[in-house]
Amino acid sequence: MTNPADSLQKQLNDTIRAASPALAAALSPLGLRAAFPQDIPFQAAQARQKAYNGTIGQITDGHGGAVPLPSMAAALGGLGEADRNRALLYSPVEGIAAVRELWRRWQRDRIDDTGDIGGHAGGAEALHSTLPLVTVGLTHGLSLVADLFAGAPDGRPRAVAVPQPFWGNYRQAFALRTGARIVSAPAYQDGRFNPTALQEALAGADLAPGEPALAVANFPSNPGGYSPTPEERELVVASLVAVAEERPLVVVADDAYAGLVYEEGIPTRSMFWDLQGRHPNLVPVKVDGATKELSFFGGRVGFLTFPFEPDSPVAKALESKVKCLVRAAIGSPVAASQVILMASLGYDGVGAEVERVRRLLAGRYRALRGALDGVDPEHLRPLPFNSGCFALVELGEAPRAAGLGADTVRRHLLDAEDAGLVSIGERFLRIAHCSVDEADLPELVRRLARGVADLVARRGAGSVRG
């Protein structure tokens, strides 16, 4: 007798292969195994409209309504009864249908046409996107992509290309959990953005011919706070197409900071859209969410989207795999947060509300730019930034000659300057302007500059490492 789980796996893998041989080739061993099982959530979904439904281990009033503790119902008093019910009861594993529809519209309404989406005659209408699957924040979307594509086949670690410096949690999400290896290349060269970093990283990664790889395209970037110009975007795209000439390449568009762009002429749309339809070996996936886009950090609502039509067989096959992995790791996504998010997403004025947050950050961005323009380049070299939540500064010649590392500077700022920044690697400090009052940014930069100057003076050039 065939194991039904095995035959479901085979059917899903065949469906994916038919639509995109490259995507099928890129699946990890876990990605190949994953298939939403026909157990409780599957059976409960079939019983949803039945007169007598005893499928689901959820305490209800017997008619589908929640049985809230009164103290908890009071805390949810800002919601109507129907929404409160939805907040208290299980979400479907794929997410609440209305939230998925609203988020798909939100994503597509934000495809700007600054520059050229190139190769897409027909504009936004011609671009493909599945109904987004709901995740527990952005990181969960990344870890699902890692589960699907980064797991090492036959013990051979798969390469994941990330421009350096990078958000440290990529290492945990992609490498620690799955055994993949992070390969990196400088995101900045001679103080300028390097649009071919991903290609360079993979070129130096000692890959076998045709071996699949992953890459992370995150604009606006963390920690860089950078989004490429239209010309740089074209170079990013061309460099990834060049990689795809040689191997299946899954590109994760990490769109955590989508929309937070502060300079005219810089495209705001996700690379997910630009990378579609460029090469059969090039498959973008989109990871985004309400965390930063709708200022809902504590809600943990993220989304995972593939470049296919919502009801296509390949979309359904990928949905089955993702639902399997979501159920295995966290059961189901957060209903309460989805309902709270829906209050905003379903409101006509939400675009204006989000724009007000962007303007608040734009003011901080300008204040930080102005302050950093005045620092001594021998001590600190601000790297280009134009978007997102951060600016990145590199230690200059003087502190490096004095053997000062970024973490030494960070600890000195904590102790002597009552100021907290994040150190990244040996040379970089990240300033999160998103969490500092505009009026305080000049003083924060003064303290940073003073801290570095004091350390340099104390050490003298050429002294011992710290």
Decide: is 157 part of the binding site for a copy of itself (CB under 8 A): no
Decide: is 100 part of the binding site for a copy of itself (CB under 8 A): no
Q: Which amino acid is at 374?
A: G
Decide: is 202 part of the binding site for a copy of itself (CB under 8 A): no
CA distance to 9, 63, 362, 384, per residue, from 321 (Å): 9, 31, 40, 39
Instruction: Please choose, out of 15-23, 42-50, 107-115, 191-199, the segment that lies near a copy of itself by the rule CB under 8 A.
Output: 42-50
Decide: is 133 part of the binding site for a copy of itself (CB under 8 A): no
Of the candidates 8, 98, 238, 432, which one interacts with a copy of itself according to CB under 8 A?
Answer: 432
Closest distance of CB 357 from a copy of itself, Å? 6
CA distance to 144, 186, 222, 229, 259, per residue, from 264 (Å): 34, 26, 20, 10, 13
Decide: is 160 part of the binding site for a copy of itself (CB under 8 A): no
Residue closer to a copy of itself by CB (options 397, 415) is: 415
Beta strands 282-289; 249-254: pairing state: parallel
Three-class DSSP category at 222:
coil
CA distance to 194, 329, 420, 422, per residue, from 201 (Å): 12, 31, 31, 25
- What does the alpha-carbon distance between residue 91 and residue 85 come to, in Å, rounded to a whole number? 11
Query: In the 8-state DSSP scheme, what is residue 126?
Result: G
Burial class (CB in 10 A: 0-12, 13-18, 19+), 415: exposed
Total residues binding a copy of itself (CB under 8 A): 122
Decide: is 72 part of the binding site for a copy of itself (CB under 8 A): yes
Residue closer to a copy of itself by CB (options 252, 275) is: 252
Of the candidates 81, 109, 376, 440, which one interacts with a copy of itself according to CB under 8 A?
Answer: 440
Of the candidates 24, 180, 431, 456, which one interacts with a copy of itself according to CB under 8 A?
Answer: 431
Decide: is 199 part of the binding site for a copy of itself (CB under 8 A): no
In the region spanning residues 314 to 353, those forming contacts with a copy of itself, defined by CB under 8 A, are 324-325, 327-337, 339-341, 343-344, 347, 349-350, 353
Neighbour count for residue 77 (Cβ, 10 Å):
8
Decide: is 2 part of the binding site for a copy of itself (CB under 8 A): no
Q: What do you get for the CA distance between the two ends of the chain, in Å? A: 66
In the region spanning residues 392 to 411, those forming contacts with a copy of itself, defined by CB under 8 A, are 410
Structure tokens at 308: 């296919």
Of the candidates 19, 56, 124, 453, which one interacts with a copy of itself according to CB under 8 A?
Answer: 56
Neighbour count for residue 278 (Cβ, 10 Å):
17
Q: Please report which helix (H) or strand (E) contains residue 379, including its range.
A: none
In the region spanning residues 217 to 246, those forming contacts with a copy of itself, defined by CB under 8 A, are 222
Q: Print the binding letters for residues 282-321 with a copy of itself: x by CB under 8 A, - otherwise.
A: ----------x-xxxxxxx---------------------
- What does the alpha-carbon distance between residue 279 and residue 216 come to, in Å, rounded to a whole number? 17
Decide: is 138 part of the binding site for a copy of itself (CB under 8 A): yes
Instruction: Please choose, out of 17-25, 203-211, 392-400, 414-422, the segment that lies near a copy of itself by the rule CB under 8 A.
Output: 414-422
Closest distance of CB 209 from a copy of itself, Å? 27
Decide: is 68 part of the binding site for a copy of itself (CB under 8 A): yes
Closest distance of CB 353 from a copy of itself, Å? 4
Residue closer to a copy of itself by CB (options 32, 127) is: 32
Q: DSSP string covering 223-271, please?
A: TT-----HHHHHHHHHHHHHHHTTS-EEEEEE-TTTT-B-STT---S-H
